[in-house]
Structure 1
Amino acid sequence: MSAHVIADDAEALAVAASLAAEFRPGASARDAARRLPRAELDRMSASGLLAVTVPAGHGGADVGARTLAEIFRLLATADASLAQIPQSHFAYVNVIRRQGTSEQREFFFAALLAGRRFGNAQSEAGTRHVQDIRTRLEPRPDGSYVLTGVKHYSTGALFADWIPVLARTGDDRLHVAYVPSGAPGLTVVDDWDGLGQRTTASGTVRLDGVPVPADRVLPHHLTFEGPQLHGALAQLLHAAIDTGIAAGALAEAAEFVRTKSRPWFESGVETAAEDPLLIQRFGELALCTKAAEALLREAARSVDAARADLRDDTAAEASVAVAVAKVQAARAAVEVSSALFEVSGTRSAADSLNLHRHWRDARTHTLHDPARWKIQHIGRFVLNGTRPPRHGLL
Structure 2
Amino acid sequence: MEAADLLTDALLERFRERAPRYDAENTFFTEDLADLKAAGYLRLFCAVDDGGSGAGMRQAAAAQRRLAAAAPATALGINMHLVWTAIAVLLRDRGDDSLGFILSEAAAGEVFAFGLSEPGNDAVLFDSTTAAEPGPDGSLTFTGTKIFTSLSPAWTRLGVFGKDSGAGVDGEGQLVHAFVPRGTPGVSIIEDWNPLGMRASQSNTTRLEGVRVPSGAIFRRLPVGPNADPFVFAVFAAFETLISAVYAGMADRALELSVEAARRRTSRVRGVSAAQDPVMRHRIAAGAMRVDALDAQLRAVTADLDAGTDHGPFWFAKLVGLKTAAVDTARGLTETGLQVSGGSGYAASSEIARLYRDALAGQFHPSNEDSAHNTVATAWLGPLES
TM range (shorter): 0.7 to 0.9
Task: Kindly indicate whether residue 103 of structure 2 is the aligned counterpart of residue 109 of structure 1.
Answer: yes
Deviates more, 1:238-247 or 1:167-176: 167-176
2:198 aligned residue: 197
- Is the alpha carbon distance of 1:229 and 1:120 closer, same or farther for their aligned partners in structure 2, counting shifts above 3 Å? closer
- Is the alpha carbon distance of 1:144 and 1:229 closer, same or farther for their aligned partners in structure 2, counting shifts above 3 Å? closer
Letter in 2 for 1:341: L
2:302 aligned residue: 300
**Are 1:118 and 1:157, in contact at CA under 8 Å, matched by a contact in 2?**
no
Count of residues in Structure 1 that have an aligned counterpart in Structure 2? 368
**Are 1:165 and 1:176, in contact at CA under 8 Å, matched by a contact in 2?**
yes
Q: Per-residue deviation at 1:341?
A: 1.6
For normalisation by structure 1, the TM-score amounts to 0.84
Query: How far apart in 1 are the matches of 2:282 and 2:362?
Result: 28
Summarize the alignment of residues 112-261 of structure 1 with structure 2, pairs less than 5 Å apart: 112-127=106-121, 129-130=123-124, 131-169=126-164, 170-171=166-167, 172-219=173-220, 221=222, 224-226=227-229, 228-259=233-264, 261=265
Letter in 2 for 1:271: S
1:27 aligned residue: 19
- Match of 1:159, SS? coil
For normalisation by structure 2, the TM-score amounts to 0.85
Alignment gaps of 5+ in structure 1: 1-9, 389-394
2:63 aligned residue: 71
**Are 1:30 and 1:37, in contact at CA under 8 Å, matched by a contact in 2?**
yes
Query: How far apart in 1 are the matches of 2:363 and 2:336?
Result: 16
1:316 to 300, 313, 337: 313
User: Deviation digits for residues 213-264 of structure 1, max 9, x if unmatched?
Assistant: 22211115289434533312211111111111111112122223333x2226
Q: Per-residue deviation at 1:174?
A: 1.9
Q: Per-residue deviation at 1:183?
A: 1.3
User: Deviation digits for residues 27-74 of structure 1, max 9, x if unmatched?
Assistant: 122212212101211221232222222356866443211112112211
1:378 aligned residue: 376
Query: How far apart in 1 are the matches of 2:100 and 2:321?
Result: 32
- Match of 2:288, SS? helix
- Is the alpha carbon distance of 1:352 and 1:87 closer, same or farther for their aligned partners in structure 2, counting shifts above 3 Å? closer
Query: How far apart in 2 are the matches of 1:320 and 1:128?
Result: 18
Query: How far apart in 2 are the matches of 1:242 and 1:361?
Result: 9
2:278 aligned residue: 276
User: Deviation digits for residues 344-384 of structure 1, max 9, x if unmatched?
Assistant: 11222123335311111111223323223323333443x44
Q: Per-residue deviation at 1:140?
A: 2.4
Task: Kindly indicate whether residue 39 of structure 2 is the aligned counterpart of residue 47 of structure 1.
Answer: yes
**Are 2:347 and 2:353, in contact at CA under 8 Å, matched by a contact in 1?**
no
**Are 2:76 and 2:201, in contact at CA under 8 Å, matched by a contact in 1?**
yes
Q: Per-residue deviation at 1:387?
A: 9.4
Alignment gaps of 5+ in structure 2: 168-172
**Are 2:187 and 2:211, in contact at CA under 8 Å, matched by a contact in 1?**
yes
**Are 1:23 and 1:40, in contact at CA under 8 Å, matched by a contact in 2?**
yes
- Match of 1:263, SS? coil
1:4 aligned residue: none
2:354 aligned residue: 357
- Is the alpha carbon distance of 1:367 and 1:207 closer, same or farther for their aligned partners in structure 2, counting shifts above 3 Å? closer
Query: How far apart in 2 are the matches of 1:322 and 1:103?
Result: 23
2:170 aligned residue: none
- Is the alpha carbon distance of 1:380 and 1:207 closer, same or farther for their aligned partners in structure 2, counting shifts above 3 Å? closer
**Are 1:95 and 1:220, in contact at CA under 8 Å, matched by a contact in 2?**
no
Letter in 2 for 1:120: F
**Are 1:119 and 1:156, in contact at CA under 8 Å, matched by a contact in 2?**
yes
Q: Per-residue deviation at 1:295?
A: 0.9
Taking only the aligned residue pairs, the percentage that are identical comes to 27
Tell me the C-alpha RMSD between the 2 structures: 2.8
Query: How far apart in 2 are the matches of 1:123 and 1:234?
Result: 13
- Match of 1:229, SS? helix
1:6 aligned residue: none
- Match of 1:343, SS? helix
Query: How far apart in 2 are the matches of 1:202 and 1:163?
Result: 13
Deviates more, 1:215-224 or 1:118-127: 215-224
Deviates more, 1:87-96 or 1:33-42: 87-96
**Are 2:261 and 2:340, in contact at CA under 8 Å, matched by a contact in 1?**
no
1:333 aligned residue: 330
